[in-house]
């Protein structure tokens, strides 16, 4: 017993398995996804309880069913493996020699591939090692270079500090206000230490560590209510932040740091701006500009410019306009340079440069035909052109300027300009003479020199053009060329037959005689003049005539003076501009180019220019538009100045004196610009101090609705010269009662408007003498006053007439006769030799012996001269 007991005491109580003493888990964890409304879901961990089942083993002990099944599965797996091994052995024994060789080769290839892969990996590792070594060497070199640069920078900083110290020392010596305390002389040890310090690399002192204050127990008594706001805004709080906050310290916010940085940047920027020198600009100042535009040109702030204007005494906003003188003062105040320009500068350079002698080539002469009305100018030109233009002219007179080019038998070309001879077209003739080289003065052999012939001679002399006299109508019986030559002497024109230098040719346009001699004379004169032009440049010319045509738009007849005009060129003609769409010659054929001294019709202008306007080709549409707008603005200002009625004081004085000018408003529409100007010139000549014609609107083209509307608004008369109103305009005019008058001859226009102005003139008062009466006796009548007893000595006296009281042949009173009686009856008149009684209206100072003169006033209609 004791032995067994002792043995039992030695045996220790332990676990059959090492580890913790625990029960196997009967619960396994799992996850499922739980669904909610609106498409939401959530993963939920759940417990899976399993039932434990036990069964009795062969040895009689209880065992869990799970372990029993695992043992059975293991035994089944071992049996299956044994069967598989036996099957493989049988299969291997059954393999042929070829299959064995193939398997051996596959094993050998796999082994070889593994060896190659190993070699490649070794080479890759070696390459990476070399790259790392090179990178390390480069890093060392870079660090060495940086160290050298830092040492050099430190050396430069030390030298700069020495220079500043020497400068301060010099300043202190120059102005010794307060003597500094004497410094002890440095010992050799100090000098050596200073040199060592200067050569050594500057040592960066480490930042002092921030002392962490110990938490104060008393500070922990703060309530959560006082700290809640800061903690919520700060987010997560670290231990160091909590300890710093408990210590009562306050740190700068992020916004404060940003503000400080921005402040430093602004200081640096202001310092840089202060160091920079002010930029002096050249400011271009036109005649008028706004304050904002001036500020932009100076690159200054608009507010500063307004302040400067206020200092100068000019109160202007940023959008108001100022004149050039005020702008110049402002620019000088800011220290800039001034460059004054004018609006007219846009026309600088339009004419181009002068042509060199090498570029000039011969050109045809431009011949202008002038003379009196009905002396045969157009007929002579028709004979030269073998055409019949005269029949197409209204009334047998030319009212348009025509330009033609004639090619004679020798092949030479001559350009003719036909001008009207009526006095109303003197401006058109003046334009014709201004562009001409030679003037042909047509004089009828039966009429001689007439008024318009003299005017044509004056225009030719003003243009300094040579004159060739064509003595026309030599086929008429009363033709006397010697009379014409003699009358020309009165105007200082001496023909060759009389020893002068003026060529005179006797021609007959009707019989076509001596036309060849006239052409020879023209070519001879042109050869003497040596006419040349440069065709290889941009075209320049003059507008001969302009009109509006339906389907073609604005058509201008132009004479190219120099250069070549091409289709597609951008031109400026007077106030209008446009791109040349087509060129048409005098025969109605389309051409692509027009050289010097060539007349062409130009299509493509935006409006109708005036006859005589200069035409020039420009480089771009922008330049053309700029020049056109400037000229139109200038013309509007001129019209406004011409139509101004003066100051208010002058207008009030005219109204007070009854001198208000009466106006006849008219709207004029014509077929061509030349006729329009001729009509306007004739109407201007009819104006007097009392009446005048006011042209509300004048244009080229037919009468439209807008013209009728304008006439209705001003009670104006519409004049159509060789044009008609469209159906809509006729209906509106008929409905509104607007009168439209059509004309084809300018005489009729002038005569009708002259009659209309005459009807507007105030009638004149004419005095008609009636008679004399002598006062024989003066009576005092109650409630009437003094009554004169008179004897009519001459003529007669009428009741209600005007009277003058003469005393010693001196007029002492002029007034009205209030009473005329014979005996006690009122009578209308008293004739010579009869007595009567008379009393004066509001006048009683009458005496015996005075003479009464009786007269009456009569209104007489006036006419314009």
pLDDT, tens digit (0-9, with 9 covering 90-100), for 296-336: 989 899 999 999 999 988 888 999 988 888 999 999 999 89
pLDDT at 695 over 80: yes
Q: What's the pLDDT at 180?
A: 45
Average pLDDT, integer, range 251-256: 82
The answer to which of 31-40, 91-100, 700-709 has the lowest mean pLDDT is 91-100
Measure the CA–CA gap between 300 and 285, rounded to whole angstroms: 15
pLDDT at 422 over 70: no
Measure the CA–CA gap between 362 and 331, rounded to whole angstroms: 53
**Does residue 622 or residue 212 have the better pLDDT?**
622
pLDDT at 424 over 60: no
pLDDT at 202 over 50: no
State pLDDT tens for residues 447-506: 888 877 887 787 777 777 888 888 888 888 878 888 888 888 888 888 888 878 888 888
Measure the CA–CA gap between 777 and 794, rounded to whole angstroms: 18
Give Cα separations from 768 to 581, 602, 771, 772 (angstroms): 71, 65, 10, 13
Q: What's the pLDDT at 310?
A: 92
Q: Please, which pLDDT band fits residue 106 given cuts at 50, 70 and 90?
A: confident
Q: What is the DSSP letter of 319?
A: T
Measure the CA–CA gap between 718 and 702, rounded to whole angstroms: 11
Give Cα separations from 785 to 781, 791, 797 (angstroms): 5, 20, 20
pLDDT at 352 over 50: yes
Q: What's the pLDDT at 705?
A: 84
Q: What is the DSSP letter of 236?
A: S
pLDDT at 589 over 60: yes
Q: What's the pLDDT at 509?
A: 82
pLDDT at 200 over 60: no
Q: What's the pLDDT at 133?
A: 86
Q: Please, which pLDDT band fits residue 172 given cuts at 50, 70 and 90?
A: low
Query: Where do the domains of the chain lie, and which CATH numbers do they carry?
Result: 282-345 (1.10.10), 361-532 (3.40.50.300), 646-760 (3.40.50.10050), 764-860 (2.40.30.10)
The answer to which of 197-211, 677-691, 787-801 has the lowest mean pLDDT is 197-211
State pLDDT tens for residues 152-168: 888 888 888 888 777 66
Q: What's the pLDDT at 578?
A: 92
The set of residues, in sequence order, having a beta carbon less than 8 Å from that of 360 and lying 6+ positions away, is 532, 533, 534
pLDDT at 23 over 60: no
pLDDT at 239 over 80: no
The set of residues, in sequence order, having a beta carbon less than 8 Å from that of 36 and lying 6+ positions away, is 42
Q: What's the pLDDT at 580?
A: 92
Q: Identify which of 98-107, 413-422, 653-662, 737-746 has the greatest average pLDDT.
A: 737-746
User: Which residue in the block uniquely carries the two structure tokens 């021609």?
Assistant: 507
Q: What is the DSSP letter of 495?
A: B
Q: Identify which of 55-64, 346-355, 532-541 has the greatest average pLDDT.
A: 532-541
**Does residue 691 or residue 338 have the better pLDDT?**
338
Average pLDDT, integer, range 514-526: 87
CB 539 within 8 A of CB 563: yes
Residues linked to residue 337 through DSSP beta bridges, in sequence order: 282
Average pLDDT, the chain: 77
CB 583 within 8 A of CB 567: yes
pLDDT at 182 over 60: no
Average pLDDT, integer, range 73-78: 76
Q: What's the pLDDT at 295?
A: 92
Q: What's the pLDDT at 661?
A: 58
CB 453 within 8 A of CB 443: yes
Burial (CB count <10 Å: 0-12, 13-18, 19+), residue 852 = buried
Q: Please, which pLDDT band fits residue 227 given cuts at 50, 70 and 90?
A: very low
Q: CA-based angle 85:89:90, to the nearest 5?
A: 115
Q: What's the pLDDT at 654?
A: 52
- 375: tokens are 């002396």
CB 815 within 8 A of CB 842: yes
Q: Which of 636, 635, 554, 541 is nearest to 597 (CA)?
A: 541
pLDDT at 747 over 50: yes
State pLDDT tens for residues 407-421: 877 778 888 887 765
Q: What's the pLDDT at 52?
A: 66
Model confidence, pTM: 0.48
Average pLDDT, integer, range 823-840: 87
Residues linked to residue 412 through DSSP beta bridges, in sequence order: none
Q: Please, which pLDDT band fits residue 217 given cuts at 50, 70 and 90?
A: very low
pLDDT at 865 over 50: yes
What percent of the chain clears pLDDT 70, i.e. is strictly above it? 75
CB 423 within 8 A of CB 455: yes
Average pLDDT, integer, range 635-657: 59
Which residue intervals of 175-253 are DSSP H helices? 188-199, 224-234, 239-246
Measure the CA–CA gap between 777 and 637, rounded to whole angstroms: 72
């Amino acid at each position: 017993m004791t032995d067994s007991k002792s043995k039992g005491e030695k045996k220790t109580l332990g676990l059959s398995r090492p580890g913790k003493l625990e029960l196997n888990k009967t619960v396994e964890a799992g996850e499922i996804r739980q669904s909610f409304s609106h498409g939401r879901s959530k993963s939920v961990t759940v417990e899976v309880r399993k039932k434990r089942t036990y069964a009795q083993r062969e040895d009689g002990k209880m065992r869990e069913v799970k372990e029993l099944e695992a043992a059975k599965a293991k035994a089944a797996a071992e049996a299956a493996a044994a069967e598989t091994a036996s099957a493989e052995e049988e299969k291997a024994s059954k393999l042929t020699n070829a299959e064995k060789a193939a398997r051996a080769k596959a094993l050998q290839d796999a082994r070889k591939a593994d060896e190659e892969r190993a070699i490649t990996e070794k080479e890759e590792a070696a390459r990476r090692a070399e790259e790392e070594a090179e990178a390390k060497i480069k890093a060392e070199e870079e660090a060495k270079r940086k160290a050298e640069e830092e040492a050099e920078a430190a050396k430069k900083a030390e030298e700069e500090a020495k220079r500043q110290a020497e400068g301060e020392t010099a300043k202190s010596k120059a102005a010794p206000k307060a003597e500094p305390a004497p410094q002890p002389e440095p010992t050799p040890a100090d000098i050596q230490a200073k040199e060592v310090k200067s050569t050594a690399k500057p040592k960066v002192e480490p930042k002092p560590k921030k002392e962490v204050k110990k938490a104060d127990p008393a500070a922990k008594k703060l309530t959560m209510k006082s700290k809640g706001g800061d903690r919520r805004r700060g987010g997560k709080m670290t231990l160091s932040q909590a300890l710093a906050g408990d210590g009562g310290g306050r740190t700068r916010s992020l916004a404060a740091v940003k503000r400080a940085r921005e402040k430093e940047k602004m200081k640096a920027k202001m310092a840089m701006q202060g160091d920079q020198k002010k930029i002096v600009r050249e400011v271009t100042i036109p005649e008028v500009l706004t304050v904002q535009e001036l500020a932009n040109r100076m690159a200054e702030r608009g507010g500063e410019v307004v302040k400067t204007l206020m200092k100068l005494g000019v109160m202007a906003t940023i959008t108001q306009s100022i004149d050039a003188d005020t702008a110049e003062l402002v620019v000088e105040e800011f220290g800039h340079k001034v460059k004054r320009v004018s609006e007219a500068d846009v026309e600088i350079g339009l004419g181009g440069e002068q042509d060199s002698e090498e570029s000039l080539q011969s050109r045809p002469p431009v011949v202008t035909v002038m003379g009196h009305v009905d002396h045969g100018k157009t007929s002579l030109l028709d004979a030269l052109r073998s055409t019949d233009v005269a029949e197409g002219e209204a009334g047998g007179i030319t009212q348009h300027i025509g330009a033609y080019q004639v090619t004679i038998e020798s092949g030479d070309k001559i350009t003719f300009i036909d001008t009207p001879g009526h006095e109303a077209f003197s401006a058109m003739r003046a334009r014709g003479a201004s562009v001409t080289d030679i003037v042909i003065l047509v004089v009828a052999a039966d009429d001689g020199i007439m008024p318009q012939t003299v005017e044509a001679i004056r225009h030719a002399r003003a243009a300094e053009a040579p004159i060739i006299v064509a003595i026309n109508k030599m086929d008429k019986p009363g033709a006397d060329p010697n009379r014409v030559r003699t009358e020309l002497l009165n105007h200082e024109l001496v023909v060759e037959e009389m020893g002068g230098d003026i060529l005179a040719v006797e021609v007959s346009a009707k019989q076509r005689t001596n036309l060849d001699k006239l052409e020879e004379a023209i070519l001879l004169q042109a050869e003497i003049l040596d006419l040349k032009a440069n065709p290889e440049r941009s075209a320049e010319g003059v507008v001969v005539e302009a009109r509006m045509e339906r389907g073609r738009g604005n058509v201008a007849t132009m004479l190219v003076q120099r250069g070549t005009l091409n289709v597609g060129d951008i031109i400026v003609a007077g106030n209008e501009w446009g791109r040349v769409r087509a060129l048409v010659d005098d025969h109605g054929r389309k051409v692509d180019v027009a050289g010097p001294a060539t007349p062409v019709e130009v299509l493509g202008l935006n409006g109708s220019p005036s006859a005589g306007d200069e035409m020039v080709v420009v480089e771009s549409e922008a330049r053309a538009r700029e020049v056109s707008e400037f000229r139109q603005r200038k013309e509007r200002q001129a019209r406004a100045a011409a139509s101004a009625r003066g100051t208010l004081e002058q207008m009030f004085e005219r109204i007070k004196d009854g001198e208000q000018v009466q106006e006849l408003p008219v709207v004029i529409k014509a077929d061509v610009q030349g006729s329009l100007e001729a009509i306007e010139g004739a109407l201007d000549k009819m104006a007097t101090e009392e009446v005048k014609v006011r042209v509300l609107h004048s244009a080229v083209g037919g009468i439209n609705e807008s013209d009728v509307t304008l006439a209705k608004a001003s009670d104006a008369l519409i004049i159509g010269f060789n044009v008609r109103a469209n159906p809509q305009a006729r209906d509106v005019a008929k409905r509104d009662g607007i009168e439209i008058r059509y004309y084809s001859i300018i005489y009729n226009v002038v005569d009708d408007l002259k009659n209309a102005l005459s009807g507007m003139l105030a009638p004149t008062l004419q005095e008609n003498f009636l008679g004399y009466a002598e006062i024989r006796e003066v009576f005092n009548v109650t409630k009437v006053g003094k009554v004169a007893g008179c004897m009519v000595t001459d003529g007669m006296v009428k009741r209600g007439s005007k009277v003058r009281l003469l005393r010693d042949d001196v007029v002492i009173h002029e007034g009205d006769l209030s009473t005329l009686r014979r005996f006690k009856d009122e009578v209308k008149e008293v004739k010579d030799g009869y007595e009567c009684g008379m009393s004066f209206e509001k006048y009683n100072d009458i005496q015996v012996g005075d003479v009464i003169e009786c007269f009456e006033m009569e209104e007489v209609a006036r006419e314009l001269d």
